[in-house]
Structure 1
Amino acid sequence: MAFLRLFKPPKNQQFSYKPRYWDPKKEEAEKLKERVEQLQQGGVDAMKTRISGGFRKGAGGAAAGAYRSARVKKSNSTLLIVLISLMGIAYIVYQLYFPELEAWLS
């Protein structure tokens, strides 16, 4: 029975830390509250906060998601049209030239 353990290396010890008290919604609300307070104060810190908030949201905000979705749909439809046309061309070539190739090989 001991020879079976020679071929199976021991597993690494795993560590998983799960915090007991953590509320992600509360933490997000606190960050938003702090950001609003900094924006209301004005000055250089408010400008930095506004710029960093824009980077976090993304270039277009919610509209960017809709734009990307529309572009993906258009790209997929173009790809489908190209594949169908290539399959049609392959079928036509097969019908026109395969009998000649078969006769030539025979």
Structure 2
Amino acid sequence: MKFPSIFKTAKPMRFDIKPRYYDPVREEIEQRTERIRRELQADGKIASEDSERQRLQGDYGSGIRGAFAQGGSIGGRKSSAASQTGILRLVILIFLVGSFFGYVYLGPVILYVLGYGGVSIAGLLFLNRLRKGRIR
């Protein structure tokens, strides 16, 4: 009888051989079709595999190729300095460090000051965005 356990125990490996099936008729057909395809490509009656692959690929190449090496954004999109995530992280870091040191030196009053300041700045930004929306 086996006791329940939280650890997995190794099971013995089983010998499992998968036989290969060899069909000489099919092998001969594949060789003949490949030989005929090469002859037709040499005569120019059908397109070669490389030119066919290039035709299918066309202008749909990788858009990310070389984007990191060039240092630019993918697709030629330009982003403004205010919308970059690095600046947002810096603002959040300054807010957290300021609130920590303010709490240490001034007590819980600084949290109220920062909270009201943040809400008022967010309100001003929202009103500015509404004003820009009416002008357009």
Q: TM-score range by the shorter chain?
A: 0.3 to 0.5
Bigger relative contact order (CA 8 A; separation at least 6)? 1
Higher helix share: 1
Calculate the TM-score normalised by the size of structure 2.
0.27
Calculate the TM-score normalised by the size of structure 1.
0.33
